[in-house]
Structure 1
Amino acid sequence: MNTAAAFADFRTYPLISALTGVQTLVDRVLVKWADDRVSPFHHQWLRDNCPCPQCVYTATREQVLEIIDVAQDLMPDNARIDSDGCLAVDWQDGHCSR
């Protein structure tokens, strides 16, 4: 019996392309990569996929956040690349996704 799927995925993955820029728009955040690609991320998607311990149970990686509880008109106060090279988003409700 294979029980691998029963355990959270705690592997790390190699960095393929570093973040080089972030721009906040009315309905999405644009992320620019070192290879000049640009990826759009909708505000709701970013908030729903926040990996912090308040939003995801760290032992199992099960999502704790219920996106239905987040305002539909959610907007970031600030989006930036932090000192570790990660995308960090400060939300209007005081939460920080990183």
Structure 2
Amino acid sequence: MIQSYAEYAPVFKALSDETRLKIIDMLSCGEMCACDILEAFSISQSTLSYHMKILSDSGLVNARRDGAWMRYTLNKERTDELLAFFTNITREKEDCVCKKCR
């Protein structure tokens, strides 16, 4: 089940920012327009775009254009993969990497 550690490193980097974690939390309730996300922060539109690009590039967030605005949703498949990966690397298992290091 272990995927490449390198595959998930960008995802964890994307989650290492307080603003991006809050955005993920906000999107857990469903699709949101960038304008609504922007209202929750004291940041510029360009800063929000920067954060959303990181989240989109990591695969955690899906983006779609709706007129002048972007609309965002969580990528449920990717978040489920991430949870499964994290669960797998944080429990002892028969083929655990720690056993290979001894």
Structure whose CA Rg is larger: 2
Does TM-score exceed 0.5, indicating one fold?
no
Q: TM-score scaled by structure 2?
A: 0.23
Bigger fraction of residues in strand: 1
Q: TM-score scaled by structure 1?
A: 0.23
Bigger fraction of residues in helix: 2
Q: Comparing both chains, which one has the higher relative contact order based on Cα–Cα distances under 8 Å and sequence gaps of 6 or more? A: 2
